[in-house]
Structure formats: C-alpha cells, structure tokens
Amino acid sequence: MPTSTALPAPAAAEAALASGEAMHALLARLFPICRSLTGNGVRETLAIVREYLPELQVHEVPSGTPALDWMVPAEWNIRDAWVKNAAGERVIDFRAHNLHVLQYSTPVRGWFSRAELEEHLFSLPQQPDLIPYRTSYYQPNWGFCLSHRQRQQLQEEHYEVCIDSTLDESGALTYGELVLPGASEEEVLLSCHCCHPSLANDNLSGLVVAVFLMQELARQPRRYTYRLVLGPGTIGSIVWLSRNPEAVGRIRHGLVLTLLGGPGGFTYKQSRRATAEVDRAAALVLRDSGTTYEVRPWLPYGYDERQYCSPGFNLPVGCLSRTPFGEFAEYHTSADNLSFVQPAQLVESLRLAEDFCAALEANRTYQNLSPYGEPQLGRRGLYKGVGGGQEGADWQMALLWLLNLSDGSHNLLQVAEQSGLGVALLHRAARALETAGLLQPL
C-alpha cells in the first residue's frame, strides 16, 4: 500500500517560501556579474555555483580550438567603459549598468563627434526608459546601449569615449559540468546557458532552477545518470558536443532550462523528434500540473536545443521555459531585473522540473503476471470493497488501467496518455501491484 510523504499544507507552503527565497538570493548574487561568451564573468559565476554544487567541474577550452564547424573565440574581458561630455561627466557609464556596453566591444579611446558616436549607439525608441542588451560576438565592433531618453539628451558636439576591454587570442572559453551517477549509465542531459550579463529571467532563472534541481536529485536514488552543462549560448553546447562523443551516445533524454523566473504560463518546445519520451513526459507533466501551459512544435531556432537536435546528433532534447524569448516586453532589456523574477515563480518552475525528472524515472514497461481475467485486488489489500479505497476512484482506475495495458508493449507514459491519469499516481499503483506479485517490470 503506498504511503504519502507529502508535507501538511502549512509546512509545504513554508518550505516552498524558503526555497524560493534561497533561489532568489542566489539569483541576486549572480545578477551584477558581467558575463559573456568567455571571460572572468563566467568564471566568477561558476565559482559561486560550485558553492552549491561542489562537484561541478570547470573546463577551460583554449581560444582558437576547432569545435565542429566553429572555433572558440578570443576571450573577452572588460574593466570599464564610459562616454564623457566636455565637462568630464560620465553621461554613459558601464559601472552604473553593465548592459551599457555592446558585448564583445573592441577597445577604444578618443574623442568623437556626436555624428560619429551616433553610429555606435543602441536604444529602443518604443521603450524609451529601458537599456537594450546587444552583442557583437563574431564581428568586431564597439558600442554603447542606453535608454532612448538618455540618447536624446546627448546634444554636445563632441564626446570622449573609452572602452577598456581586451580580446585575448590566448584566452579560453569556460563551461561547467556536473554528473550525478545513477543505477544506469543512460543519461538525462540538463543544459542552460550562462553567458548573459544582468538579465534575471533570460539566463539566470534557468541556471538557478538547474542548480537547485541538481541539489534535489543528488539527495534521491536515481535510475538515470544526470548531466548538467552550464555554458555560453550556442558555442558552449557546440564545444561540449565536439568534446564528448561518448557521453552523447548515452543521452536518452534532455531538457534545456531557460526563462523560468518570469510571469506567465509554461511553454515546452518539443525536440526535433517530436514524439520522443522526453516530449511525452513533458506534455503529461504539464497536463497534470494545474498550470497554464503550451506545447509547441520543433523549430530550428531558439536556445541550445537546436545544437543538441541538429540532424547529425538528433538528440531527444526539448526546451522548458515560461513565456518564450521575444514574447515579453522585458526581454533583452534592463527591465529583466530582480523584481521581474519572483521567488514563487522560481519555485513553481523547480517543482515542474522535478516532476519532469520523476516522470522519466518512473517510466517503465510492465508485464501483467495474472493476465487471464481481472485479478482479485480486494483480497490483496489494494482497495476496499465498498466506497472505493485508497485515493478513491482514481486509485482503483490506476490499478485497472495498469493491469490491462501491462502487456509488455505499453510503458507508464503510454498508460498515462490513454487513461488520463497522472504519472505519479500510476507509478505508486505500479509499485503496489509489483509488491502484490501482479506486475513485473521489463
């Protein structure tokens, strides 16, 4: 007979609040760091993550290293940047907000006319109070991002410009990796990027959820081996794929975690395969979550799922987010800040990710050991004769669905799809039937 380990409602609410506040505290600590594709910001970020996940391995891949069709770029670091008026006042100041500098800006120092400076300014006329986030990773350039109101106030004829940055061809790309061994060498890949500067939802929310998810998984017995990869977007996953052919062959399921701290419902983007086990598990977990959600078909654009799902690899990797990129007003602006991401939203995302992993862990194919007629469940204590039984009618139906579909060709996810019952309930019922000698896992 299954037993519940759920906390009483007040205790569960208190635990969720504490967890949400702890997640938000980590996010707030990481928020000011100026991260990019490479550089000390990524190293500093991963050093803090190692306080939470001490077994995290940090890898350095030298600039210029070939990676599939790409090459590891020069390492970029920035110490300071500003635009000063004739009075020597900083009218644009990297120290005030690290979004003010175009990512991967080449170093520059000198006086520029207002017209010359204009060619290197980026703002949002439709969102005049926000600073945009802009990059120039693979094409040498320099520039400043600023609010449009701030841009309109630049009326002097000349300005002094300084970007104190370095592009080091002898540098490296840095990424983090943690493997939690399971009973099987088959792997679940969890991936998120760590290359954005002060953007709370886009980048940091996924990283924070991943960190706390791995902490939770480390406390549990695991059927699968779980691998977390924290790297810069696009080039990070490409570098990892190029360096880990053996691990690639062991990946059975995967999930990119991103944009998990903002408001709005959940969105799951299917893998390229569309009907992989990971896609079915995600759809069922969302179906049973009681939250607003949408399942979207595969699209070869987005986050690192497009590298894992490229045709040569075709890994079963989906993408879990809340409101997708580009579909909320705060996206890639200074409004994607600490107040935009709330502790309750982080906790809800973490719980969903935990349920997703639990569904993968639970998914097995069973054989009914008493397939001729319906076995007598009452004498085995699986439910009472009158008025239902443990967990009521749903429990009884879970037992009956499992017995009927456990013919060696239906797994637990398929039973959940056909019956409309939750994966967690079916898993508990399967264990009860297995204990009673009625089911055998294959």
Binding residues: 196, 202, 332
> Exposed, middle or buried: residue 261 (CB in 10 Å: 0-12, 13-18, 19+)?
buried
Burial letters 188-204, b for 16+ CB under 10 A, else e: bbbbbbbbbbbbbbbbb
Tell me the longest C-alpha to C-alpha distance in the chain.
Answer: 92
Separation of alpha carbons 318 and 161, rounded Å:
44
**Partners of 174 in the beta sheet?**
60
Residue located via tokens 């007979």: 1
**Structure tokens given for 187:** 């792997």
HSE (CB half, 13 Å, CA atoms) of 124? 18
- The angle formed by the CA atoms of residues 97, 177 and 262, to the nearest 5 degrees, is 45
In contact, 72 and 39? CB cutoff 8 Å: no
What SS3 class is residue 97?
coil
Contact by Cβ (8 Å): 341, 201: yes
Q: What token pair was written down for 245?
A: 């052919």
* CB-count burial class (<10 Å; 0-12, 13-18, 19+) for 134: middle
Q: How many CB atoms lie within 10 A of CB 442?
A: 11
The DSSP-derived string for 331-349 is TTBTTSSTTTS-HHHHHHH
**3-state class of 116 per DSSP?**
helix
The DSSP code sequence of 265-314 is -EEEEPPTTSSSHHHHHHHHHHHTS-S-EEEE---S-SSTHHHHTSTTT-
C-alpha 225/C-alpha 250 separation (Å) is 9
Residue 193 CA to residue 191 CA, distance in Å, equals 7
Report the chain's C-alpha Rg in angstroms.
Answer: 25
Binding residues for Zn(2+): 196, 202, 332
Amino acid at 4: S
